[in-house]
Amino acid sequence: MENTAKFDLNESISAWRRQLRESPALRNDDLEELEAHLRDSIARWQSAGLSPEEAFWIAKRRIGNDESLACEFGKVNSERVWLTRALWVVGGSLTIKVFLDAASMISFLGAMAAQRMMQAGYDFGLVQWAGRTLSAQPGNVNGVALGLATIAAYLITLAALGWLVWRSLRGSRGLLSRAGQWMQAHPVWATIAVAMIVLCSSACGMGIHFLGMRRMAISDYSTILMCRTYTFLGSILAWPLLLGWLLARWSRQLGARA
Amino acid sequence: MLSKELVAASTVPLVLSVLAEGESYGYALIQRISELSSGEIVWTEGMLYPVLHWMEKEGLLESEWKEGEAGRRRKYYRIRKEGRKALQAEKQQWMTVNAALTKLWRTQPSLT
């Protein structure tokens, strides 16, 4: 029990409401109704001689815990619960698409930069290294450098984007549910926004190829394409691993709660 | 105290019967039923609302936000024609069970 700070009834009620709002099973109208109930109940316990804090805890207990409330309301508002799940799926696939396009674009840029540097004579000892370790012919060193640059840029971009999304999600838990609410309130704008994101993302992903074809020797361009294909294959293998890791974490969390 | 199963089964007829007396809101409904049963019928209070919403979806009730005393907004529920019909049917069934049990128990007065 908290007895350190002074008890603020209104703040406690809004904290309770915020907690309940996390579940898609409860609409705003439901929250309004439950809060009216909670306030009636608190008033009654207070008039029976309890302190505001005691009255709040008893009223909260009698109204039921968050999980069983969400479960029961979910039966009536099942449509809303499923819509929210669908929104998560759409949001997730959109994020992955933007991730992949951005990573592919940046890896291409990285490869182009590497090629420029090699042409200008900065090879960081790669020519010697490739000749020694991979016994590559001088003509193939270009390809090795391009491939390494592509793969490195691709992986770094994916990791950086993943870290960014992870950070912003952890930083504000309400961000996603607010975005979901906005999308439900403005379906037309949400559709336009999603379409624009897909279009821009695809345009960036494809535009870089035009740049490559115009600016690079065709042999270098095809080397990059080949390396990118290998990287893609590697990253496709990474997705199931990532999914497995997420599921393992998730089930451990659920287990801890149960 | 009533068993969980019986509480669940009796919620709809109880709600319909109280609302047949006049419109009311969730908290008042719970208070009324608690009074009527001398505190024997205890609901997890929040669970009443999904039931009310389901009954509204089924067309048994209708609801409206209204401002009560001290400017407090509450959602009031009113029984509809379909609700009264459903109440009649419920009444019949509960009476049947009640009559059968009463007859059985009257012959064995030691079991009270």
- pLDDT per residue rounded down to tens, chain A (258 residues): 445 567 888 899 999 998 888 887 888 888 999 999 999 999 999 999 999 999 999 999 999 888 888 888 888 888 878 877 887 788 888 888 888 788 878 877 877 777 777 777 776 676 666 666 666 565 566 666 677 777 777 788 888 888 888 887 776 656 666 777 787 788 888 889 888 988 988 888 788 888 888 877 787 788 777 777 777 777 778 778 888 888 888 887 766 654
Q: Is B83 on the interface with A (CB under 8 A)?
A: no
User: If you count DSSP H runs as helices and E runs as strands, how many of each does chain B have, helices first?
Assistant: 4, 3
Interface confidence, given as ipTM, is 0.85
Beta bridge partners of B61: B79
Backbone angles phi, psi at A6, to 5 degrees: -70, 140
Q: Is A76 on the interface with B (CB under 8 A)?
A: yes
Tokens of A2: 């908290």
Assign residue B76 a region (left: φ > 0; alpha: ψ between -120 and 50; beta: otherwise).
beta
Per the CB < 8 A criterion, the answer to whether B50 and B73 are in contact is no
> Which of A32, A64, A76 lies at the smallest CB-CB distance from B53?
A76
Q: Is B75 on the interface with A (CB under 8 A)?
A: yes
CA distance A42 to A2: 18
> Which of A34, A36, A77 lies at the smallest CB-CB distance from B72?
A36
Task: Count CB pairs under 8 A between chains A and B.
Answer: 56
- pTM equals 0.64
**Kind plus residue range of the DSSP H or E element containing B77:** strand B73-79
Sheet of strand B73-79, all strands in order from the earlier edge strand to the far edge:
B24-25, B73-79, B61-67
Inter-chain contact A63–B44, Cβ cutoff 8 Å? yes
Backbone angles phi, psi at A246, to 5 degrees: -60, -45
Amino acid at A142: N
Backbone angles phi, psi at A216, to 5 degrees: -115, 160
DSSP sequence for A8-22: -HHHHHHHHHHHHHT
Per the CB < 8 A criterion, the answer to whether A6 and A52 are in contact is no
